[in-house]
Amino acid sequence: MISLINQACCHPKCPAKHLEDPILAWIYQLTPAQLTELYANALGEILLSLRDDADHGRYASYFTRLRGSMECYMRGLWAGLVATPLEIVHDASGEHPILLLEKLSNIVFSRVLGKQSAPSLSFTAPIGGLQTVSDLLNTTAHMTAYILAFSACATPELVMKMNSGLNTLIEGQLKTLRKVARLLKEGKTQREIVSDIRRVEHP
């Protein structure tokens, strides 16, 4: 245990001894299957909350959950199929360098989904300067007045229209995370799972 606690971070410029933190030490010993399952469970909870928010007109809450759902999906695939235990621990620590969503998405799309980069998905009903899913996710990263105005101006019809597509997208992401966790538990290699994911049509 002493050698683990004193183990250097995977990033040479990060001086932190992450494994001195008991929570990070616990994360370190999780298997890729366990990590992916935790992310899948969290994404499932977020999806239920998104549906409930949309149904009850809590639009500010609805929009601010969207980035969390995408982060959850991308980090679930990254933790299960790409990252090393030390990379996961460093990411969880919040120390620099921070793996932001744009870079994380590009890693997952290129190394797991077999695409050069994350596609820019358009809204079916854009408002103001927000034209793509990426625009919305970036805007909801911080609780600026823009997202408050966006939420205040949203109509039930607009949210229901957007939610139909987003609900389908997140359901597909949740299904993928659960499948990855199951295949890892069954002993499939990460390479085999990546090949399997690339063979099927992916949301």
Domain ranges of the chain: 31-199
Coil, strand or helix at 95? coil
The pLDDT score that the predictor gives to residue 38 is: 98
When computed from its CA atoms, the radius of gyration of the chain, rounded to whole angstroms, is 18
Q: Is the model's pLDDT at 130 over the cut of 60?
A: yes
Q: What is the pTM of this model?
A: 0.90
Rounded to whole angstroms, the Cα distance separating 158 from 156 reads 5
For residue 82, pLDDT over 80 is answered with yes
Closest Cα partner for 166 from 78, 43, 77, 83?
43
Query: What tens digit of pLDDT does each residue of 17-29 get?
Result: 999 999 999 999 9
Return the percentage of the chain with pLDDT > 90, whole number. 68
**Residue 106: Cβ-neighbour burial (10 angstroms; 0-12, 13-18, 19+):** middle
